[in-house]
Amino acid sequence: MAGAATYEPGRVDWRLAAPLGLTYLAFFAAPLLILLAMSFAADDRFASFSADSWVKFWGDPFYRGVVYDTVWLGLIAVVATSILSYPIALLFISCGPRLRKLLIFIILLPLLTSVVIRTFAWIVILAREGVVNQTLISLGLTSAPLNLLQTELGLVIALTQIEMPLMLLPLVTVMQQINPSLSDASRALGGSKWRTFFRIILPLSLPGWIAGATLVFASATTAFISQTVIGGARLVYLPSLIWQQSMVVFDWPFAAVASVTLLVAVLSGVMLFSLLGRFARID
């Protein structure tokens, strides 16, 4: 047929990738470059440029502490979701098809609910007259209500529940691929449950854990709604700092510095987990 395109091995037709490439440049690369240029603006009119906003941000111990707290919150969320997800994943691979369907529904159910609703539900649960405090008082574990709202502990508890599906789904997917005969062979050779878990299941499930850890870290460090509603004004993280500087103080260059810092922090965490992924594979 005349005019029909012919495939030639080794030749790349860049015209096919042009629409996607132009979209990427227009809606992703260009805004990032504008954001980076804005961080060096010396005034609100962007008439001149300087590094004053960067010096102000990194020269103040308070803002360096905000960066540390944001990254630390993401890592704590990864640890908390990992500890709670592995028992559920082990139950999932050991149960029958009907219970698996029920567990999948329970895992996916939080994703079908708005994060705003889930966050405000945690306010009711963690309040001084909430379910947690009433349970602790009724059990005699404490004589007075605990302050869980506007604390890092309360925020970690809420983020653990909110982010857990992001850890569970890749972990369950990978653990389903582990050959059950490996665990049976370990038990037959005298290996205990803990030894079987740490020597067989845990190493083989690392690809799923790394995928989940990457998602949880990126989501927890940028969880503006949960950090603002649960943490309140006492806890300051980079997303809330960006909102304050851009929408309240109207210091856009400083907000751009905080935004670029948050972007670099999240990408550094993602690259670190990706680097760990190179050492984890299922044989």
Q: For residue 1, what pLDDT band results from cuts at 50, 70 and 90?
A: very low
In a domain, 13, yes or no: no
Q: What is the CATH number of the domain that holds 180?
A: 1.10.3720.10
In a domain, 36, yes or no: no
In a domain, 262, yes or no: yes
Q: What is the pLDDT of residue 267?
A: 92
What lies within 8 Å, CB to CB, of 133 at 6+ separation is: 127, 142, 145, 146, 148
How far apart, in Å, are the Cα atoms of 152 and each of 61, 67, 120, 224, 228?
Answer: 20, 15, 16, 14, 12
In a domain, 82, yes or no: yes
Token code pair at residue 30: 């260009």
Residue 162's closest CA among 241, 240, 109, 208? 109
In a domain, 148, yes or no: yes
How many structural domains compose the chain? 1
Max mean pLDDT among 63-77, 99-113, 170-184 falls in: 63-77
Q: What is the pTM of this model?
A: 0.85
Helical segments of 46-151, H only:
52-58, 61-94, 97-108, 115-126, 131-138
The domain containing residue 164 runs over which residues? 54-280
243 alpha carbon, distance to own chain's centre: 19
Q: What is the pLDDT of residue 260?
A: 94
142 alpha carbon, distance to own chain's centre: 33
In a domain, 221, yes or no: yes
From CA 110, how far away is CA 162, in angstroms rounded? Answer: 7
DSSP code at position 109: G
From CA 255, how far away is CA 259, in angstroms rounded? Answer: 6
Q: What is the pLDDT of residue 264?
A: 94
In a domain, 185, yes or no: yes
Q: For residue 2, what pLDDT band results from cuts at 50, 70 and 90?
A: very low
Could you tell me if 77 and 216 are in contact, meaning their C-beta atoms sit under 8 angstroms apart?
A: yes
Token code pair at residue 224: 């503006």
Residue 259's closest CA among 10, 31, 14? 31
In a domain, 27, yes or no: no
